[in-house]
Structure 1
Amino acid sequence: MTMPNRLRLAAALAVACTATPAFATDSVLHCGSLFDARSGRIHAERSVLVADGRVEAVRDGFVEAPGADTVDLRGHTCMPGWIDLHVHLGSESSPQSYSEGFRLDPEDYAFRAVGYAEKTLQAGFTSVRDLGGEVTLALRDAVNQGLVRGPRIWAAGKSIATTGGHADPTNGINAQLAHLIGPPGPTEGVVNGTDDARQAVRQRYKDGSDVIKITATGGVLSYASSGDAPQFTVDEVRAVVDTASDYGYRVAAHAHGKEGMRRAIEGGVTSIEHGTYMDDEIIALMKEHGTWYVPTLYAGRFVADKAKVDGYFPEVVRPKAARIGALLQQTFRHAWESGVKIGFGTDQGVGPHGDNAREFLYMTEAGMPAAAAFQAATVRAAEVLGSDEVGVLEPGRFADVVAVPGDPLADVEAVLRVDFVMKGGDVVRQPGDRAARTTTETASR
């Protein structure tokens, strides 16, 4: 062999050894239309090629890939899998919710959560941020291990509160039982002061949380009279945020009242959840700090409706549900028109799991264009999560796809007729499959 030939052979071997191995295309989705989450536009006739659980390519027209499974979605619009930034998979509201906390064990909630996760995935939500619920940490791990089916879960674990605050687990307990339990502290997610705040975040790290949730004001459904009073100081919020950043965590703040929102924003939280009494001053502050708004319109409507039903809520909760729930939609309209950054979130667990997509209807009713609402549940929600693996259908991202019949920009109610769901390259729902599946034959990627 001559020297030039030896050099060419050596060069070829070097390239072969260092090149990234290519994965064979597993499946091809022939989409009649495809929603581009970045531009907010729909493109006709696109093929999504999937390899090893991720998007390999998106191509014009209906292309073929030898040996790959082909899914015919030519009568559908394909979109990136939807993301719900505010769920509680460990529970679901009912007239028995308050008494069940004294009767049920964590295992009971865990088994219920398996069904709620399946319903959520079947509805087209391939990723969620669970903002409060200890069993969800184990649920997340079970989904990741392929033991049960559900969306990708960013789990907060136990929410962080102050004494008597919205997430104080001893609210509503009689004095004798409270004495036996003792006052909850940072381990239980209850803080008073900056040292406690730092310890509570570190405990969430120890527990395995993915995100931190604080209750910066009172809440609607907690067993307490105020739904909007501030419950953290700015210094306490900053201690939470600074400590969270040490572990790469983002912080979501449940907040209804104006002063609690102001403190949370100035303290550096990533997002304000609910934001009921948001006004122009708070809107300007959010825009200045780049704070996201997750409106949870579904929860507002749900609690306002149930407040009219005798016995559904305890009497201490009922007036808050009637008052605060009715305000959310007009707050959302003002925030959207004012240019606040908005991510999609429902607070499901207040309302029934699996009905998450109805939030799109409420957002558009309040004046947000359908395309912007879909962006809020895809590319924008991924920004809130800080993830570069979900939210858009681009090469290298997870192959998370939801498909609905027709054109959802013209008929937003199409989101209630999900026909196809793929998560990480695995088809979990397909046209004609109306009943939610409960099998777990494929491991979740």
Structure 2
Amino acid sequence: MKQVDDSTSYIRAGWLIDGSGKAAQKDVLLVVNTGQIVFIKPYAPEIIPANGQLTDLSFATILPPLIDSHLHLSMSGAVDAALRENQLVAGCEELLPYIHRHLKQLFDHGVLAVRDGGDRHDCVLEFMAKGMSNYPIAIHSPGRAYHRAGRYGGLIGRAVAEGDSPAELLMRRNHQQDYLKVVNSGLNSLKEYGHETPPQFSKDELKNLCELAHSKQIKVMVHANGRVPVQQAIEAGCDSIEHGFFMGRKNLERMVEYGCTWVPTVVTMKAYAEVLEFEGNISGAAIAARNYESQLEQLRQAKKIGVKVALGTDSGSPGVLHGESVFEEMKLYGKAGYSLVETVQCATANGAELLGLADKGILQTQAAANFLVARGTPAQLPRKLSYLENIFIAGKPSALYRKNPVK
């Protein structure tokens, strides 16, 4: 443990939600040295030496930075059809400025770690390799996703021809990232409620891929909707199911059995319903709304069963904006019966575990003193996350964050 000395700073918080799922603590003191939390204890004035540096946040709630465990940095979430079409076919030179803009939006909403869901040209990986980010955001990307030739996935990845196995492609590709993305189903239908597409890969193909990836310390995230595509991915040993619409209770139980994490992206279908209604597609909007309600019910079941859930938004989808969609998703967790601290755990500690971020997710002794400051009590969350009071990095207000910036 670090020693308390003249360089030590003291931060008083009105309330602390530490990310572990424990109840919020009231009136606490964080002792910070060289950017690291030395200890957390109930506030008492006598702890602070006469020459101690006290930052008074007694008017606010602090919590760990948020993690979006599923998004698409190269897509903007725009609803303008022409803009979306252009982004879907654009090359990296055109998309890199968008990625930078999306990271700013994420940072302004307190999101300091993200897991990308793939893009067809490896533009996010190029962005990372060039060191273009000005923001302290941990970016994880699988690069291009694997999908079966002729099936959904061309917008975010590379095709696996019939007769080829994704495991063999992994061997040839010399994959350097800590994640792989596999697409094992189609999208949710906006014409036929609950329609399930067949799996793109066999269970054996997925199992071989997962075993090979794990031998290289690479995790596998699988886009899958419907009972059979999800079941195969879980039983093959994947690390997370992305979306999982219409997968059913049995698959939720399998997730617990196999230790698989679920990233439900509920807000995506809610946003689709709103966009389609605005565009006058009433039948599509009605089906999207039913998809959303179905996913919300699955989330309620997941809580009761004990599924490990990591919050992801699929931001970049139509109407799903980077950063803002995180607290929108958090509000939906509340509708599904999650308490505030359980919701924060899904958006912090569970995401950190999924992404392998041992130093993030929970505010505790020896962790980095990085946290969000939301004015008011926990009862005002997650609403207050839409306009944070401040973001602290290494125990100090970040120079990159401006409250209510002039646009």
TM-score (norm 1): 0.78
Whole-Å Cα distance in 1 between the matches of residues 397 and 281 of structure 2? 38
- Other-structure match for 1:440: none
Structure 2 residue 357 is the aligned partner of structure 1 residue 406: no
CA positional deviation for 1:97:
5.0
Identity of aligned residues (%): 23
Mean CA deviation greater in 65-74 or 213-222 = 65-74
Structure 2 residue 184 is the aligned partner of structure 1 residue 216: yes
CA distance 1:410–1:433, change in 2 (3 Å): closer
- Secondary structure of the 2:93 match is helix
Letter in 2 for 1:340: V
CA positional deviation for 1:294:
1.1
CA distance 1:104–1:112, change in 2 (3 Å): same
CA positional deviation for 1:66:
8.7
Work out which of the residue numbers 100, 109, 126 in structure 1 matches 2:95: 109
- Other-structure match for 2:218: 249
- Secondary structure of the 2:352 match is helix
RMSD: 3.4
Letter in 1 for 2:67: I
Work out which of the residue numbers 122, 136, 154 in structure 1 matches 2:108: 122
- Secondary structure of the 1:121 match is helix
CA distance 1:106–1:395, change in 2 (3 Å): same
CA distance 1:369–1:318, change in 2 (3 Å): closer
Structure 2 residue 299 is the aligned partner of structure 1 residue 332: yes
- Other-structure match for 2:66: 82
CA distance 1:274–1:149, change in 2 (3 Å): same
CA positional deviation for 1:169:
4.1
Query: 1:89, 1:349 within 8 Å by CA — same for their partners in 2?
Result: yes
Structure 1 stretches lacking a partner, 5+ long: 1-18, 171-187, 438-445
CA positional deviation for 1:236:
1.6
CA positional deviation for 1:277:
0.5
- Other-structure match for 1:43: 25
CA distance 1:194–1:371, change in 2 (3 Å): farther
Whole-Å Cα distance in 2 between the matches of residues 20 and 26 of structure 1? 10
**Between Structure 1 and Structure 2, whose CA radius of gyration is higher?**
1
CA distance 1:25–1:120, change in 2 (3 Å): farther
Letter in 2 for 1:255: A
- Secondary structure of the 1:107 match is helix
- Other-structure match for 1:346: 313
Structure 2 residue 113 is the aligned partner of structure 1 residue 138: no
CA positional deviation for 1:149:
1.5
How many residue pairs match? The answer is 395
CA positional deviation for 1:305:
1.7
CA positional deviation for 1:392:
0.7
- Secondary structure of the 2:199 match is coil
CA distance 1:46–1:168, change in 2 (3 Å): same
Whole-Å Cα distance in 2 between the matches of residues 234 and 38 of structure 1? 34
TM-score (norm 2): 0.85
Query: 1:194, 1:236 within 8 Å by CA — same for their partners in 2?
Result: no
- After superposition, give the CA deviation of every residue in 1:37-92 in whole Å (9 maximum; x if it has no partner): 22421112223334444333324326547988653321111111111111111112
CA distance 1:69–1:20, change in 2 (3 Å): closer
Structure 2 stretches lacking a partner, 5+ long: none
- Other-structure match for 2:158: 189
Structure 2 residue 335 is the aligned partner of structure 1 residue 378: no
Query: 2:18, 2:364 within 8 Å by CA — same for their partners in 1?
Result: no
Query: 2:14, 2:58 within 8 Å by CA — same for their partners in 1?
Result: yes
Query: 1:241, 1:268 within 8 Å by CA — same for their partners in 2?
Result: yes
Query: 1:401, 1:422 within 8 Å by CA — same for their partners in 2?
Result: yes
Query: 2:333, 2:343 within 8 Å by CA — same for their partners in 1?
Result: yes
Mean CA deviation greater in 87-96 or 102-111 = 102-111
